[in-house]
Amino acid sequence: MSELSLSFGAMSPPIEQQLNEAGYTLGMSAPKYERAADSIVYLRVQGYLTMSACDAARKKLMKDIAKEARELQ
């Protein structure tokens, strides 16, 4: 897999859309990762996560997405 860059945040396009534009897909797992990304944003906005904890969570999420993403056929 080449370098993959995703944008996370309340105003970012859905993860699956970003992956599709890069030539990848998460298939049926896409909603799971979208919920996880939305949860990180929600917890940060509500003050339950520090910025460093939020960064660590996004890094882990990105690692898991990169493992599961497959090239579009």
Q: What is the DSSP letter of 47?
A: T
Mean of the per-residue pLDDT values of the chain: 95
Residue pair 15/34 in contact by the 8 Å Cβ criterion: yes
Q: What is the tens place of the pLDDT at every residue in 14-48? A: 999 999 999 999 999 999 999 999 999 999 999 99
The β-bridge partners of 29 are: none
Round to whole Å and give the CA distance between 70 and 9: 23
Token output for 16: 């699956």
pTM reported for the whole predicted model: 0.89
> What pLDDT shows up at residue 10?
86
DSSP 31-47: HHHHHHHHHHHHHHHTT
The β-bridge partners of 71 are: 24
Say yes or no to pLDDT of 2 above 70. Answer: no
Domain boundaries, the chain: 29-71
Q: What is the tens place of the pLDDT at every residue in 61-73? A: 999 999 999 999 9
> What pLDDT shows up at residue 48?
98
